[in-house]
Amino acid sequence: MMKRSLLFISVFAFSSISFALPELKGTPQDLRSLLHPEEKIVTIRASAEETAYSDRAIVSMVVTTEEDQLADAIASNSALRDQLAKALNSSGIIQDNIKNSKFSSSPQYSWLGKTPSSYKVINRVAVTIEHEDQLETIARLADQNEEVNLSDTTFEHSLKEEFNKKVKAEALAKVMAQKADYEQVLGIKLTPVGIRTAEIRQHATRGAMMLEEVVVTGIRKPQSDYASEPAISTATPSFDEVKYEADLYVDFRIKEQ
């Protein structure tokens, strides 16, 4: 009888303890964080920028010829483009850097009648240049020929990939310098666990956009207008400035020493 009583008391005590345990509720993520607390993570951000100078430019010239006959308009356009190519070659621009687009022709109608009064042929010539004196040659050709107009200019930097890597490396060096400071001052150990790189970008600086506005508009100013303007230094044979920027985020695990 005594054994039965002890058994009953033991079963009752175990059941009471079981009913006293708290009920676990929550999402799987909540339960996981309860059983395995998340590690302490800190993110260090740094940015870097570099200014470079474009060493190439693609200048577009629009060649427009108009004649009574379509064949004559095509021939005139071709002859003028050949003349331009020879002048560009003489200034040191190789033929491979002179590209002609497909021409477009449009009949010009008079006020009366359905018969075209003339035909217009338009062709774009894209010239890749590397020196300012070559840009001067192109501008002079546009001034000397009414059929030639400057349409736009695209600046290029041949060391784009190198500068992208450079700003990324500089940003990473700044992150690691901050890491060392935090470890020394706070007495902690930071272990990198992830790297997030924001978009590495490059864009023209304000000075570059001002220069492009002057060069690309295609508006011919009288020579007298240039006389009063300050001379532009030619010490650096470049066409515009390009700013490279990079943002870098590195996640570190915190461990107290």
In eight-state DSSP terms, residue 78 is: H
| 161 sits in which H/E element | helix 160-186
Provide the token pair at 149. 């107009």
Set out the domains of the chain in order of their start, with CATH numbers: 36-55+158-220+236-257 (3.30.110.170), 56-156 (3.30.70.2970)
pLDDT at residue 149, rounded to an integer: 93
pLDDT at residue 141, rounded to an integer: 94
The parts of the chain modelled with pLDDT lower than 70 are 1-38, 103, 109-113, 198-239
pLDDT at residue 39, rounded to an integer: 72
d(CA 88, CA 95): 8
pTM over 0.85: no
Alpha-carbon distance values, 42 to 39, 169, 191, 194 (Å): 10, 20, 10, 10
Task: Look at the block and give the residue holding tokens 């001034």.
Answer: 143
Point out which residues pair with 195 in neighbouring strands: 250
Alpha-carbon distance values, 107 to 13, 68, 98, 119, 125 (Å): 105, 9, 28, 4, 22
pLDDT at residue 224, rounded to an integer: 43
Residues across the chain: 257
Point out which residues pair with 116 in neighbouring strands: 109
pLDDT at residue 204, rounded to an integer: 53
pLDDT at residue 115, rounded to an integer: 72
Alpha-carbon distance values, 236 to 76, 162, 215, 239 (Å): 38, 20, 17, 9
pLDDT at residue 156, rounded to an integer: 84
Q: What is the pLDDT of residues 98-112, one digit of tens each?
A: 998 876 777 776 666
pLDDT at residue 24, rounded to an integer: 52
Residues 247 and 47: beta-carbon distance below 8 Å: yes
